Amino acid sequence: MVKLNGYDISSSESKSNVGFIPQDDLLMEELTVYQNLYFNAKLLNDTWVEEELQERIEKVLKELGLYEIRDIAVGNPLNKKISGGQRKRLNIALELIREPLVLFVDEPTSGLSSKDSENVMQLLKHLAQTGKIIFVVIHQLASEIYKLFDKLFILDVGGLPVYYGNPIEAVIYFKTVTNQINHEIGECGTCGNVTPEQIFDTLEDKEIDDFGNYTSERKIKPAKWNEYFKEKFVSKEVDKSIPLDKLETIKSPNLLKQFKVFFTRDFLSRWNDKQYVLIALLEAPVLAALLSFIIKSSNNIDQEYTLSMNENVPAYIFMLIIVALFVGLTISAEEIFKDQKILKREKFLQLSRLSYLKSKAIYLILLSVLQSLLLCGVGNLIIELNDNFFYYWILIFSVFVFGNILGLLLSSSFKTIVTIYIIIPLIVIPQMILGGAMFKFENLNKSIGGGHHIPVVSNLMVSRWAYEGIMVAQFSNNTYEKNVFDYEQLLSDYNYRTSYLYPYLTDLLNDQLSDNKDESLKCSDTVYNTLVFEASKPIVKSVLKFDVEDRSIKQSMQFIDDLSSLYQDKYNELSRKKDAKIMDLDKSLGENALMNLKRSYHNDNVADIVQNALSKKKFFVENSMVYQNYDHIFLRDHLNPDYKINGTFMYVPIKSFFGNKISTFLYNILIIWFFIFILFIVLYFDGLKKMLDIQIFKKKSFS
């Protein structure tokens, strides 16, 4: 059991007083020396006020000779702004601010010139003299550095201790054990140089074979050295009479403060990278401009451009979504990955992962707000899509955020950046294929769910929800359509019945009759079920009665006749009403105003798609019931609990949300944010990483 001043080493008091300086430097490249220290310090301790903090930083800077370069950006090993020695010293400074009692230093001199190495080691020695214990792991030892140490602890292969004691005496010990010449001489008498290599040579001395060649077998095995060690070195009892200082636990700042620090740090580090700022802000509007400019073309070449005749609008909408997803993913893919080293260090500080993630998320969300505004704004402006901006923006923004959080998840789960970038197409391409825009669901492979309903796997694609949301909003909410939507909706209901449904049911009944002329026979299930549903509609209930017990063909035919007349009359009546409304509008808005309204705000291709106008099949039969296969944008039958259906339709205007009826636009936004929420939870619990690790673990255990 290891204790520090009486406290168990795993206790928070101990942890607060132990520092670790790793071999790699864990610095924020875009920030200055001062900023690196500043943010690190802010995360460390809650009790320091601003002035005290600045004092401490200045003190450390001066101590380590970094004061002059405090405002220079750190840079990275490839693009150095400060020298290697200075980087190392900064790493040390980051820990020193805390003034830990015990310091573990890993390879402080690797990669440094001999002068720099000496400086660093002198510094550490100086620190040790102030009362700290400093553990250093070190390999290439110059003689001067070797002599600075107080104690040397050597571990052989397998972690077996083979020496603990004075460094210079170590040479003598090893020579003695192996009966070498001059074993009483530790250091060179005249020059004072110690050659630590002698220790390793002795330790690993190999057997000589009969021919005088070295073999690969060692003369003395590690276990044997370990035996000698155990014999020679006896651990001294700790003198219990010495009073031990109490250890203080460092109090980390609260979640909000942590969040602020993470956020400011990230923001500043980004802001200083001008290239990044430029690209991050320009990427979206440039793509939007490119996209919308290229597809800005109207159906009739000799006519001027109108939105209504631009056949590319549905594709444009889908491209906006894919761009949002792609940009969202790539912008966030490196975020956590970049911080890997820093996160390692900060693990010691027991900072809140939630605050860290939230700061990343908020930063990305704010960036997404900007990017989505630019994307939709520029794009819609160029192709002259001048209303419904809010709907476009909110959905595209949601897709951006989805991409961001997913990118963060990837960033924190994979070991190399290349893997992350390879995974990204694997995410985006299925979204394109299954989003419902490039390939109609009717035309997809039946085994994955293609057919009249939306495949389950498509419901997992954020692109499908965003696309549907925008298409529905674009069609039903544009300035022109708003005037006539209600009329068109009802007319569609009536026309479907009189033109398609009832003639079909009549055909079915006639087919039944052609074999057997008996009209008292029971009608088929399909006819019966459909008629029962038809009878339940409010418009019918008040006028016609359908006896559910009577399944005779006779009643069915009569009922269908009555229904046809009813709906036909309603259709004619409403048709006249709609015409009257249109002519009214035409008069009140002025010459050609209505026509211009339609041209500027309505798009024929969007209308064709949400109405499934190009499909030849106007209905389909499933589970002994007839279902409408077009004009789903006007459909509300699916809200009726009696309308039993094995799936969902695309482009319906209203959906049921736990019993409440809300618009498709709102419903889809809630779904997308629900996905985002789930992803964030997985991110918080490192779910993906753990899953990947388990896979690897399983593999290993069987091999």
Partner 1 sequence: MNRLKSKTLMIGAIVVSIVLGACSSSEENSLEKEMNQVSKSKVKVSKDEINQLIQSFPSPIETSMIIQNAGNKFNSELLLPTKKLDRFVSSYDKAMAMGAYGGDMGYINIYEKSFVAAEFLAAIRLLSVDLEIDRFFDFEDMIRMAKSSSNIDSLQQMSTESFNSMEKYLREKGRNELSVLIVFGTWLEGSYIISYIAKGNMTEEMRNRVAEQKESVKKIYEILEANSEDDYFANLAKEIKTLNDLYEQVTIETIMREPEMKEVDGQLVFIDNSETKIVTPEGIVKDIVKESISLRNKLLK
Shortest Cβ distance from residue 584 to partner 1 (Å)? 10
Using the rule CB under 8 A, give the single segment among 15-23, 268-276, 463-471, 535-543 that binds partner 1: 535-543
The reply on whether position 24 binds partner 1 by CB under 8 A is no
- Count other C-beta atoms under 10 Å from residue 586's C-beta: 14
Exactly one of 23, 113, 303, 624 binds partner 1 (CB under 8 A); that residue is: 303
Using the rule CB under 8 A, give the single segment among 96-104, 402-410, 423-431, 571-579 that binds partner 1: 571-579
Contacts 24+ apart (CB under 8 A), 624-628: 624/524, 624/525, 624/526, 624/529, 625/526, 625/529, 625/530, 625/533, 626/501, 626/504, 626/505, 626/526, 626/530, 627/452, 628/496, 628/501
593-601 vs 553-589: helix crossing angle, rounded to 10: 110
Tokens 């074999």 -> residue: 515
Residues 64-103, one symbol each (x = binds partner 1 by CB under 8 A, - = not), give: ----------------------------------------
Helix (H) or strand (E) holding 509: helix 502-515
The reply on whether position 498 binds partner 1 by CB under 8 A is yes
Shortest Cβ distance from residue 699 to partner 1 (Å)? 44
273 Cβ partners below 8 Å, 6+ apart?
30
Shortest Cβ distance from residue 603 to partner 1 (Å)? 13
Shortest Cβ distance from residue 307 to partner 1 (Å)? 12
Shortest Cβ distance from residue 671 to partner 1 (Å)? 14
Shortest Cβ distance from residue 652 to partner 1 (Å)? 12
Q: Which is nearer to partner 1, 410 or 594 (CB)?
A: 594
Shortest Cβ distance from residue 382 to partner 1 (Å)? 23
Using the rule CB under 8 A, give the single segment among 269-277, 286-294, 315-323, 575-583 that binds partner 1: 575-583
What residues numbered 237-256 form the site for partner 1, per CB under 8 A?
Answer: 256
SS3 content of the chain, % helix, strand, coil (to 5): 60, 10, 30
Q: Which is nearer to partner 1, 143 or 600 (CB)?
A: 600
Exactly one of 542, 588, 701, 703 binds partner 1 (CB under 8 A); that residue is: 542
Shortest Cβ distance from residue 380 to partner 1 (Å)? 20
Distance CA 612, CA 532 (A): 26
Contacts 24+ apart (CB under 8 A), 491-497: 491/571, 491/574, 491/575, 491/578, 492/631, 492/634, 493/634, 494/567, 494/568, 494/570, 494/571, 494/574, 495/571, 496/618, 496/619, 496/628, 496/630, 496/631, 497/534, 497/563, 497/564, 497/567
Shortest Cβ distance from residue 576 to partner 1 (Å)? 8
Cβ-contact 118, 86 below 8 angstroms: no
Using the rule CB under 8 A, give the single segment among 126-134, 154-162, 210-218, 660-668 that binds partner 1: 660-668
Cβ-contact 378, 316 below 8 angstroms: no
The reply on whether position 122 binds partner 1 by CB under 8 A is no
Cβ-contact 331, 404 below 8 angstroms: yes
The reply on whether position 491 binds partner 1 by CB under 8 A is yes
The reply on whether position 486 binds partner 1 by CB under 8 A is yes
Shortest Cβ distance from residue 653 to partner 1 (Å)? 7
Using the rule CB under 8 A, give the single segment among 32-40, 106-114, 302-310, 452-460 that binds partner 1: 302-310
- Which tokens is 343 given? 């996160």
Exactly one of 349, 357, 574, 650 binds partner 1 (CB under 8 A); that residue is: 574
Helix (H) or strand (E) holding 63: helix 50-63
Cβ-contact 654, 663 below 8 angstroms: yes
Exposure string over 515-550, b if 16+ CB within 10 A, otherwise e: eeeebebebbebbbbbbebbbeeeebeeeeebeeee
Cβ-contact 628, 496 below 8 angstroms: yes
Q: Which is nearer to partner 1, 542 or 701 (CB)?
A: 542
Distance CA 434, CA 395 (A): 18
Cβ-contact 498, 571 below 8 angstroms: yes
Using the rule CB under 8 A, give the single segment among 170-178, 215-223, 403-411, 495-503 that binds partner 1: 495-503
The reply on whether position 661 binds partner 1 by CB under 8 A is yes
The reply on whether position 440 binds partner 1 by CB under 8 A is no
What residues numbered 597-626 form the site for partner 1, per CB under 8 A?
Answer: 598-599, 613
Exactly one of 594, 606, 625, 671 binds partner 1 (CB under 8 A); that residue is: 594
Residue 214: phi, psi to the nearest 5? -75, 135
Exactly one of 122, 350, 592, 646 binds partner 1 (CB under 8 A); that residue is: 592
Burial bucket for residue 144 (CB in 10 Å: 0-12, 13-18, 19+): middle
Q: What angle is formed at CA 141 by the lines to CA 137 and CA 144, rounded to 5 degrees?
A: 115
Shortest Cβ distance from residue 504 to partner 1 (Å)? 13
Exactly one of 636, 644, 690, 698 binds partner 1 (CB under 8 A); that residue is: 636
Cβ-contact 288, 379 below 8 angstroms: yes
The reply on whether position 321 binds partner 1 by CB under 8 A is no
Exactly one of 81, 125, 183, 570 binds partner 1 (CB under 8 A); that residue is: 570
Using the rule CB under 8 A, give the single segment among 180-188, 419-427, 520-528, 566-574 that binds partner 1: 566-574
Q: Which is nearer to partner 1, 365 or 423 (CB)?
A: 365
Exactly one of 176, 297, 510, 572 binds partner 1 (CB under 8 A); that residue is: 572
13 Cβ partners below 8 Å, 6+ apart?
4, 7, 247, 248, 249
The reply on whether position 499 binds partner 1 by CB under 8 A is yes
Compute the Cα dihedral for 464, 469, 473, 476 and give only its sign.
Answer: positive
The reply on whether position 669 binds partner 1 by CB under 8 A is yes
Exactly one of 280, 423, 666, 688 binds partner 1 (CB under 8 A); that residue is: 666
Shortest Cβ distance from residue 538 to partner 1 (Å)? 5
Exactly one of 137, 157, 277, 595 binds partner 1 (CB under 8 A); that residue is: 595
**Which stretches of 642-686 are DSSP H helices?**
664-684
Q: Which is nearer to partner 1, 396 or 523 (CB)?
A: 396
Residues 262-301, one symbol each (x = binds partner 1 by CB under 8 A, - = not), give: --------------------------------------x-
- Helix, strand, or coil here: 660? strand
165 bridge partner residues:
152
The reply on whether position 587 binds partner 1 by CB under 8 A is no
The reply on whether position 642 binds partner 1 by CB under 8 A is no
Distance CA 122, CA 117 (A): 9
The reply on whether position 662 binds partner 1 by CB under 8 A is yes
Cβ-contact 16, 249 below 8 angstroms: yes
DSSP string, 368-394: HHHHHHHHHHHHHHHTT--S-HHHHHH
Shortest Cβ distance from residue 484 to partner 1 (Å)? 10
- Note the residues at the interface with partner 1 (CB under 8 A): 256, 300, 302-303, 308, 394, 486-487, 489-491, 495, 498-499, 538-539, 542-543, 568-576, 578-579, 582-583, 586, 592, 594-595, 598-599, 613, 636, 639, 653-654, 660-663, 665-666, 669
